């Protein structure tokens, strides 16, 4: 396999989508990561900085993976983890991971519909799944989520919001959360001018991940949440695309 020249890259992406043999010879994201784990020399044979999986890579279409994500930005995939957009068929998986998040981090997660439970909660999840929720999978197990929406108000169509960012304990610290945010931002950028989120001050890993992806703190929402006798402040964070 030899690296593609810059001039031929866009065409190769198109060919890769069409199943062209030559383009199929290009590495996809997870293959590059595998090379990284195998050793620098193999990775460098591609004449491309490891970890900078660029437009010249083909998307990793896994069998049965309907909505593989084609990235056009710098991103490195954690080994053994696949990413795709969730659909209404993933309702049970979403319910399960959200239940865990709600139980472990009530200060970070929770909506009126989830407090109500039952049909109201299921309807809310179906609504979320009809928009943008990304999932990270290890095998068939959903290990992480990150959601994006734009509020319906006409006057705030330039702003997007990130929510339900969660990675299971066993999959943390290897970049799954980081990759979820990067993928979400790539989807958000053509749609909005800026992205907002709110995060409790105690969620240090989350704050790190957001800052690493260009979010800045623009305010503090004091005592945003009360659970029993304890109150939690939230940082308001924003990333501007333009
Ligand atoms: C925030 C969260 C999604 C990050 O997921 P992740 O897959 O661990 O993300 P990353 O691998 O990109 O790690 C983020 C940072 O936290 C560190 N970290 C996260 N979990 C860790 C662990 N178990 N052990 C050591 N370090 C850990 C990472 O090293 C990284 O720090 P760095 O920037 O100094 O390298 C995850 O910690 C989580 O679900 N937290 C609880 C829920 C929450 O707070 N959600 C945010 C709601 S707004």
What is the domain-level CATH number for residue 225? 3.40.630.30
CA of 11 to the centre of ligand 1 (A): 37
Residue 198 and residue 82 in one domain: yes
CA of 26 to the centre of ligand 1 (A): 31
Q: What is the mean pLDDT of the chain?
A: 78
Residue 131 and residue 221 in one domain: yes
Look-up of token digits 């039952």: 118
Taking CA atoms only, the protein residue closest to ligand 1 atom 37 is: 205
Residue 51 and residue 125 in one domain: no
Residue 94 and residue 28 in one domain: no
Per-residue pLDDT tens over the stretch 29-41: 444 434 343 333 3
Q: Is the pLDDT confidence value at 11 over 60?
A: no
Taking CA atoms only, the protein residue closest to ligand 1 atom 29 is: 173
Residue 93 and residue 20 in one domain: no
Q: Does residue 73 lie in a domain region?
A: no
CA 5, CA 194: separation in Å to the nearest integer? 34
Residue 114 and residue 190 in one domain: yes
Please name which of 68, 54, 75, 74 lies closest in space to residue 3, comparing C-alpha atoms.
54
Residue 126 and residue 182 in one domain: yes
Please name which of 23, 18, 22 lies closest in space to residue 55, comparing C-alpha atoms.
23
End-to-end CA distance of the chain: 38
Residue 98 and residue 155 in one domain: yes
Residue 195 and residue 150 in one domain: yes
Per-residue pLDDT tens over the stretch 139-176: 999 999 999 999 999 999 999 999 999 999 999 999 99
Residues spanned by the domain of 52? 1-60
* pTM of structure: 0.75
CA of 155 to the centre of ligand 1 (A): 34
The total number of structural domains that make up the chain: 2
Q: Which atom of ligand 1 is nearest the CA belonging to 206? A: 1
- Please spell the DSSP secondary structure of 4-36, one letter per residue: PPGGGHHHHHHHHHHT-HHHHTS-BHHHHHHHH
Q: Does residue 66 lie in a domain region?
A: no
CA 50, CA 43: separation in Å to the nearest integer? 6
Per-residue pLDDT tens over the stretch 63-79: 333 334 444 455 677 88
Residue 98 and residue 50 in one domain: no
Taking CA atoms only, the protein residue closest to ligand 1 atom 25 is: 173
Q: Is the pLDDT confidence value at 109 over 70?
A: yes
CA 216, CA 239: separation in Å to the nearest integer? 6
Give percent of the chain above pLDDT 70.
69
Residue 42 and residue 159 in one domain: no
Pocket lined around ligand 1, Cβ cut-off 6 Å: 105, 108, 165-167, 172-178, 199, 203, 205-206, 208-209, 212
């Amino acid at each position: 396999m030899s690296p593609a020249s810059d001039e031929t890259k866009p065409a190769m992406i198109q060919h890769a989508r069409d199943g062209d043999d030559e383009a199929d010879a290009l590495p996809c994201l997870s293959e590059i990561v595998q090379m990284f784990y195998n050793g620098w020399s193999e990775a460098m044979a591609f004449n491309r900085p490891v970890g900078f999986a660029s437009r010249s890579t083909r998307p990793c279409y896994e069998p049965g993976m309907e909505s593989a994500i084609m990235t056009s930005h710098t991103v490195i995939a954690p080994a053994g983890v696949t990413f795709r957009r969730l659909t209404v068929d993933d309702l049970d998986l979403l319910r399960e991971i959200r239940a865990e998040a709600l139980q472990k981090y009530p200060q970070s997660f929770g909506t009126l519909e989830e407090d109500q439970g039952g049909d109201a909660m299921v309807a809310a999840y179906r609504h979320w799944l009809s928009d943008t929720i990304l999932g990270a999978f290890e095998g068939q197990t959903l290990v992480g989520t990150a959601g994006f929406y734009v509020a319906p108000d006409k006057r705030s169509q330039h702003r997007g919001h990130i929510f339900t960012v969660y990675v299971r304990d066993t999959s943390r610290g290897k970049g799954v959360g980081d990759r979820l945010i990067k993928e979400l931002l790539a989807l958000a950028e053509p749609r909005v001018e800026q992205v907002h989120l709110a995060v409790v001050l105690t969620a240090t890993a989350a704050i790190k991940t957001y800052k690493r992806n260009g979010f800045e703190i623009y305010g503090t929402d004091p005592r945003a949440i009360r659970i029993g006798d304890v109150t939690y402040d939230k940082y308001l964070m924003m990333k501007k695309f333009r």
